[in-house]
A and B are shown apart, each in its own frame.
Chain A
Amino acid sequence: EDKVVQSPLSLVVHEGDTVTLNCSYEVTNFRSLLWYKQEKKAPTFLFMLTSSGIEKKSGRLSSILDKKELFSILNITATQTGDSAIYLCAVSPRSGGSNYKLTFGKGTLLTVNP
């Protein structure tokens, strides 16, 4: 069974801090790892990583994957109160066909205080 473990489960920081969120995984026949931000309702897509060691970056957010050690990190620099959300990590196996179903972790609840 595919498994995703995120840490920490929750984190409280002050505006301007830098945070690192962790995601480790076990999946049969790995295809990709995805990060989502969940505010009030829908998970919003952030990044998809398929290759080890290549950093994906979008503004203050960046992510990198280590396929040998089976983990990924999501970095947020100069945090703002608008970054407060649950950050979800999900993996997709290379299953038969092209289902790309996602297995999610429990998420990291990030609270950024002013």
Chain B
Amino acid sequence: EPEVTQTPSHQVTQMGQEVILRCVPISNHLYFYWYRQILGQKVEFLVSFYNNEISEKSEIFDDQFSVERPDGSNFTLKIRSTKLEDSAMYFCASRKGLAGNEQYFGPGTRLTVT
């Protein structure tokens, strides 16, 4: 069964460093999302992406964040200058679109900023 994959599973970085989190959505899906979950808190929406552009972003998704679909398979989240409060589990999700509205989540990348 096709699934969303994410790499790395765990990333440790120092404050102020740039990180790129990678996702490979399910191949015939058209809509892509990033969510994050700070330890012990709710899963929160960050950004949605369709047709090579951001379709919606939350207040969390400020100028330090960017997303890109550099080729036909990868979908990346970049944090330019990480802060301690960026430490969280980051989930990528994809949705088929049209009749398929449910979102399928990847296993997540645990980002630890020290």
Could you mark each residue 29-62 of chain B with 1 if its beta carbon is under 8 Å from any beta carbon of chain A, else 0? Answer: 0010101000001111100101000011010000
The number of chain B residues with a CB under 8 A from chain A is 26
List the A residue with the shortest CB-CB distance to B108: A41
Q: B64-72, B80-88, B96-104: which lies at the A interface?
A: B96-104
Cβ contact within 8 Å between A48 and B55? no
**In the complex with contacts A34-B102, A88-B43, A43-B91 CB distance below 8 A:** yes
Q: Chain B residues with Cβ under 8 A from A97's Cβ?
A: 50, 55-56
B48 → chain A, closest Cβ, in Å? 5
Cβ contact within 8 Å between B31 and A98? yes
Which of A32, A41, A97, A106: most chain B Cβ within 10 A? Answer: A41
How many inter-chain residue pairs (CB < 8 Å) link A and B?
63
B56 → chain A, closest Cβ, in Å? 4
- A31, A43, A95: the one contacting B43 at CB < 8 Å is A43
Say yes or no for B106: interface residue by CB 8 A criterion: yes
List the B residue with the shortest CB-CB distance to A47: B102
Say yes or no for B95: interface residue by CB 8 A criterion: yes
Say yes or no for A99: interface residue by CB 8 A criterion: yes
**In the complex with contacts A97-B55, A101-B48, A104-B42, A44-B105 CB distance below 8 A:** yes
Could you mark each residue 13-31 of chain B with 1 if its beta carbon is under 8 Å from any beta carbon of chain A, else 0? Answer: 0000000000000000001
Q: Residues of A at under 8 Å CB distance from B?
A: 31-32, 34, 36, 41-45, 48, 88, 90, 92, 95, 97-107
